[in-house]
Structure 1
Amino acid sequence: MKSAGLPRPQRLADAVRFKAALSARPVIRGDLFDVFRLGQSQASQPARIGLVVPKRVCRLAVHRNQVKRAIRESFRRSAASLSGYDWVVRLRRAP
């Protein structure tokens, strides 16, 4: 059975890059979430995404997973136009 998740090259798993993106100013700061962006060394690389959904914001794991699935799907649909950057989405409060 094929996985429905994001392919490994589109996942931001490097802790150093993750922290570097979070230390920058948010590109978008909304009521529900902040979006951070960090440029990659090569603009032709595929966009990568990292998600932060804290337990203090969404208590139940089911709800945290639903939020992450929705963000990943939105990213998957628009990843071609976001290439060349590492993106981190941090949830600020529950939807």
Structure 2
Amino acid sequence: MEQTFARRYRLTKTDEFSSVFGFRRAIRGKLLMLHYQPRPEGNTEARLGLVVAKKLLKRAVDRNKVKRVVREQFRLRLAGLPPVDLVIRLAAKPAPLDGKLLAEDFLALLNKLQRPRPKRED
């Protein structure tokens, strides 16, 4: 298993983030919000982008911890993910910054994403 977070698994450009936010699909968890967009045909891997606002976490060390925890969980679950672009952002200020709680919230969001949604009847 690859132990790095390679560039091909990252959203790097502003346009990539904008297109995911523009697609307007999101799932909210307790602490995190997951915005997602299916990738075009021919792409088989999921990609991840992270947004952690200074408004919610003032200290850089705390923002970096959030990013580190989410990236690690993404890397571990990458093989089972559909080809989507994901943007994770902090939705609520965590009272005590707990890596385990962040990881559980992120995994719950991934499980919701992979569950097929029931068809809506009009």
TM range (shorter): 0.7 to 0.9
Percent identity over the alignment?
Answer: 37
Amino acid at match of 1:11: R
Instruction: Show structure 1 runs of 5+ residues with no match.
Output: none
State the Cα distance separating 1:30 from its structure 2 match: 1.8
CA distance in 1 between counterparts of 2:7 and 2:73 reads 17
Q: Deviations over 1:39-84 (max 9, x none)?
A: 1113542110000000001100000000100000010011111131
8 Å Cα contact 1:43/1:84 also seen in 2:
no
State the Cα distance separating 1:31 from its structure 2 match: 2.7
Amino acid at match of 1:68: K
The normalised TM-score by structure 2 is 0.68
Length, aligned pairs only: 91
Structure-to-structure mapping, 1:39-58, within 5 angstroms: 39-42=38-41, 44-58=43-57
Tell me which structure has the larger Cα radius of gyration: 2
Deviating above 4 A after TM superposition, structure 1's stretches of 4 or more consecutive aligned residues are: none
CA distance in 1 between counterparts of 2:69 and 2:93 reads 13
Higher-RCO chain (CA-CA 8 Å, sequence separation at least 6): 1
RMSD: 1.6
